[in-house]
Structure 1
C-alpha cells in the first residue's frame, strides 16, 4: 500500500475513533461544526472520512467541535 494511503487511513481512523469514543454521529458532527461557523454537510463529512483526505484544519475543527482536548496518535 502506498505510504500516502497508509497516512490517509490513519488520519481517518483517528477521527472516526474520537467520534465513536464520544458517541457523535456524522449528523451531530455537522451540527456541531455549524455551531462554530463551519459549513459541512453530513454526506460531505462521510465522504471525507471514507477517503481519508481532509486538511489538518478540518481535523482540528472536528476535534474542537466534539470537545476533544487531547489526541492520542500512537499505535
Structure 2
C-alpha cells in the first residue's frame, strides 16, 4: 500500500498546468474557446469547462490549448 500513497495525481497535475496557464494570461473558458476557434478547433465554453474540470482531456486537446493561448514552454516540475 505504500506505493499508493506515493502515486502521483497525473490528471490533477495536467489540469493544474492548463488552469495555471489560463490564469497567468487572465483568460476565461469562453476566451479559450475563441482562441481555439481561431486555430480551427471547434469547441464551446461548456465542453471546455467540463473537460478541464474532469481533467480527462486528451494530450491533443492540451497541446491545442497551449498553442491557442501562446504557451511555448511548459515546466513540469521543480528543478533540484
Q: Which has the higher contact order (CA 8 A, sep 6+)?
A: 1
Return the alpha-carbon distance in structure 2 between the equivalents of residues 70 and 9 of structure 1: 19
Moved over 2 A (4+): 1-4
Larger-Rg structure: 2
Aligned residues: 74
Distance, in Å, in 2 between the alignment partners of 1:24 and 1:69 is 17
3-state secondary structure, aligned to 1:31? helix
What is the deviation of 1:74?
Answer: 0.5
**Could you tell me which residue of structure 2 aligns to residue 33 of structure 1?**
36
Alpha-carbon distance in 2 for matches of 1:8, 1:49: 10
TM-score, scaled to structure 2: 0.85
More helix by share: 1
How far apart, in 1, do the equivalents of 2:76 and 2:46 lie?
A: 26
Gapped regions of structure 2 (runs ≥ 5): none
Gaps of 5+ in 1: none
Normalised by the length of structure 1, the TM-score is: 0.90
The root-mean-square deviation of aligned C-alpha atoms, in Å, is 1.7
Distance 1:73 1:40 in 2: 26
